Amino acid sequence: MLQKLESWQDQVAKVQGWRRGLLAFFLGALSVLALPPVHFVLALIPAFVGLVWLIDGSNRDATSNWQHFIRQRFFNGAFAIGWWFGLGFFGAGLYWISFSFLVDAQQFAWMIPFALFGLSGVFAIYIGLVSALCFRLAGPGMRRVFYFAIIWVAFEWVRGWAFTGFPWNLIGTVWTFNEAMIQFASVLGVMGLSLVTMVAASSIAILGYGKKSPRFRYYGAGLPLLILALIWAGGMWRVGSAKNHVVENVQLRLVQPNIKQKNKWKSELRGKHFNNLLELSEAPLREPNGKKPTHIIWPETATPFFLDGNDAALRIMAQIIPKEGALLTGSPRRTGGRGEPVKLWNSLHVVGPDAKISATFDKFHLVPFGEYVPLRDSVGKFINIAKITTGRTDFSSGPGQRALEIPGAPPVSPLICYEVIFPGAATPAHSEGQARPGWLLNITNDAWFGTSSGPYQHLAAAQLRAVEEGLPVIRVANTGISAIIDSYGRIQVASRLSERIYLDGPLPAKLKNPTLFSRNGQWGLLVLILGFLLIAGRRRLD
């Protein structure tokens, strides 16, 4: 078996030219099978082992002949091979963004190849840097494997904040199908789970290095897998000892109206959309002896009009709001006018039975080109770039994360749309003196992405925030996947994709004590990375 792997390592490392780039691209796309909704985690092994072996065969030679330089570096350099892998990884993992350009196909469909491959090509630079640094820091062997995993996760962290950040499809996400495995995120977050997963998957490459003894290679490949097994066992113990507490006297109704994005903002359908929300909110209980909802939640931009100041709509809504509860809804908001600059906000309103808005949260982490056009003032002088959402005015960014007081329920930390994908940013900063909220509320509109893997990946991020923070996550989508997720990341109830439905259920209780991750953030990950770096620094691993 070892001889066969040694032969494969030699063959992969010797692949040259365009075949090398094509193989790397294929391996990157293959790795996406491990992500939601497929969760074929074993696909990570051939994908990352193959990338490590391709890095082994990278070319160091420099030349003054530009034609020779292009031939050598375009496919045969370490950076290039990582970039091609990244193009496959991000291209296959983010293909669903193309669907958003088809909502108004006449205006935006032509942008699909530029958006998909442009975005994937930019993010692929991170993987190119991973490969280049691994190639420079260590030769073929176990040290290179450790550096590969460490640097990959380091760039996952960078991807989470650089250029406004986009930490989508972090490798730790592959485990969200398994309740036990994701419990590790309560200690070191999803990126800690990424690190141990990367080491375990890529360490199989060690079996193909014939310079080390078989015993060394088996230990090198087996110990990381043993660590994963211990993480699973610890997760099983944590989930097995979990108490299924709920918040007393709080019964939620999640409303998923399933409105197609192309119809959402048509003026002639506004009344129909509003009535759709009201009908689902008033629908009878599915169980005769079930508890009546105390709190009704509508999704992102649920009201197809500005709710703030619309007394008629508020009075209608008040008729369906329980006396001691509230209705939480996404809604666009407008300020300014009469000589003041007009500003638009993507907001969440808390509406009471008195037909008044008691609290408002404005989304602060906006989607580039979806909700605003970056550098519009500079770039707009030379080219007219429109955002793909309705209207010409960019949305404004809110002041930041904070907890809202909810009548009859614990304080909530709202997360609108993709604000839920950012590890460590789901709740107000402790340094700001704000109390820990009782739950997280993620309202979203995944109708932009149709029937694709996007909504499943979005849901997976919400599960991981629940585990990291030790807080339940309530996810309400216009369409997509609405769900009640408890503080251990377990889905209690969920809708299906593209389904008009309402979901009833109690609000799970938060954990009594904050998780290690919620207290320490990414510091625990840094300690783990330093530990792996100390191991990787040992020359005997080559």
Instruction: Please list the active-site residues.
Output: 300, 363, 417
C-alpha span between 179 and 237 (Å, rounded): 11
Give the integer Cα–Cα distance in Å for 486 and 466. Answer: 7
Half-sphere exposure of residue 383: CA atoms within 13 angstroms, side-chain side: 7
Task: Select from 228, 153, 167 the least CA-distant residue to 195.
Answer: 153
Provide the 3-class DSSP secondary structure of residue 296: strand
Query: In this structure, what token pair is assigned to residue 509?
Result: 């209780």
Tokens of residue 71, six digits: 């031939």
Count CA within 13 A, CB hemisphere, residue 57. 24
Residue tagged 């897998």 (tokens): 225
| Alpha carbon distance 224, 204 (integer Å) | 9
Q: What separation, in Å, do the N-terminal and C-terminal C-alpha atoms of the chain show?
A: 21
Tokens of 170: 């972090």
CA atoms within a 13 Å half-sphere pointing along the CA-CB vector of 139? 6
Look at the block and give the residue holding tokens 């997976």.
Answer: 460
Cα separation, 380 vs 378, in Å, equals 6
Q: Which of 344, 326, 321, 324 is nearest to 334 (CA)?
A: 344
Strand pairing report for 473-477 and 439-444 = parallel
C-alpha to C-alpha distance for 156 and 351, rounded to whole angstroms: 39
